[in-house]
Amino acid sequence: AGADGEDLPQSVMFPTVTKARELFNAGAVLADRAPLRRVIDLPVDLDAFQAEDRKRIDRFLKRHPQHAERFLQDEFWERRAIAARYAPLAAIAALVADRDEAVRRVVASRLAPEDAAALMRDSDREVRITVAQRLAPEQLLKMAGDADYMVRVVVARRLSHGKLSRLADDPEREV
């Protein structure tokens, strides 16, 4: 693991033989694990960790996004959402259709604005608000008729003055 795993909880660091030389140097019996290299083994169930250790693992995934990918298909939404924050963009594209809105919201916040547009008609208002906050200005009018007034408020705040007339007759005063 080297410097990569310095901040990780010791419970995920395992002494491991990584080179035959380590066995040859040990002689007939491997009595001391101290000279062995540590290998990181993150379990799929991150709920087993205390809050502080989860934060340390979260920081690790941020620095090493390639390790986050294995959690993208996890059964628990929170692990998928954490992984989606750090996994490579190409790996999270499939999560646009995730069953949980928290995961889709993370995806909407990370995808390029033109790709996040695929979530303009998402069933969850928070996802649509995230999309409205990130869309290119020329795409905003596509969301001006959203059923949720908060989505329309975000659109109105981001529209140029010349295009605000489209929302002038909105039934919600805040818009």
3-state secondary structure 92-129: HHHHHHCCCHHHHHHHHHHCCHHHHHHHCCCCCHHHHH
H/E element holding 14? strand 13-16
Q: What per-residue confidence (pLDDT) applies to 98?
A: 96
Please count the other Cβ atoms lying within 10 Å of the Cβ belonging to residue 25.
10
Q: What per-residue confidence (pLDDT) applies to 3?
A: 58
CA-atom Rg of the chain in angstroms: 23
- Name residues whose C-beta falls within 8 Å of residue 161's C-beta, 6 or more positions apart in sequence: none
Q: What per-residue confidence (pLDDT) applies to 169?
A: 82
Q: What per-residue confidence (pLDDT) applies to 2?
A: 55
> CA dist 10 to 40, 56, 57, 62, 99, Å?
9, 11, 11, 18, 34
| Residue ranges for the chain with pLDDT beneath 50 | none
Q: What per-residue confidence (pLDDT) applies to 44?
A: 64
